Amino acid sequence: MKNQRNYMAVLPIYNSFHPIMKQKTKQVLEINDEVKKIVADMFETMYYTKRGVGLAANQVGKDISVVVIDVHTVKGFENELPITMINPVITEYSDEKEICEEGCLSIPVLYDDVERSLNIKIKYLDITEKEIERTATGFLARAMQHEVDHLNGINFYDRLSPLRKSLAKSKMKRLKKGDYDVDYFMINADGTEHPEN
Ligand code: ZN
């Protein structure tokens, strides 16, 4: 058999109601070829959806603490290169908050307003195992908070105000049942496949 490591793959995205999306992911102990392959596949999967700007490993069914982000299409972040974050930890949150609309590849039925810190400090390992500590602001800080939340089993729906949450209830019910259309492969809450439309 040919060495498959060189081939990237588009992976199905897990529904936010799937159990793997509700639990804390495991720390990466070694950045080996398997982890590097998952990172490459995560970027491939994110670009395939054409609208993802970030993806956490549990969103593609992998129980490890890995995030990929690419916000270069967002105004003001044109020079930001793709980011791989392994075992990321947010070490500081600004008191200054901002409310913005968020979406999520695991919740394709809903875009809604979430309050987040405007600025954060975050540390992680990059793909070469180098320790990075950096600050982020605005949309990038928001994307990082959203993705690190995923690694802790938290989805943006959990962060909506009580009012927004109640308004989103019926949409979320349909998501849970798999009763929605989406143009990329997904895995339903019960582990069955959800077709791509
Ligand atoms: Zn998400």
CA 104 / ligand 1 centre spacing (Å): 4
Q: Tokens 């009763």 appear where?
A: 179
CA 148 / ligand 1 centre spacing (Å): 9
Distance in angstroms (rounded) separating the CA atoms of residues 155 and 49: 19
Estimate to the nearest angstrom the gap between the alpha carbon of 193 and the chain centroid. Answer: 20
Is 50 exceeded by the pLDDT of residue 1?
no
Contacts of 21 (CB under 8 A, 6+ apart): 14, 15, 58, 59, 106, 150, 153, 155
CA 34 / ligand 1 centre spacing (Å): 23
More confident residue, 4 or 138: 138
85-133 pLDDT, tens digit per residue, is 999 999 999 999 999 999 999 999 999 999 999 999 999 999 999 999 9
CA 156 / ligand 1 centre spacing (Å): 7
CA 40 / ligand 1 centre spacing (Å): 18
Is 80 exceeded by the pLDDT of residue 144?
yes
> Is 147 an active-site residue?
yes
Distance in angstroms (rounded) separating the CA atoms of residues 125 and 129: 5
Mapped onto helix, strand or coil, the DSSP state of residue 120 is strand
Positions of E strands within 9-162: 13-14, 54-56, 66-69, 83-93, 97-102, 112-117, 119-125, 131-137
Of 31, 18, 35, 9, the residue nearest 150 (C-alpha): 18
Of these residues, 115, 147, 193, 196, which one is catalytic? 147
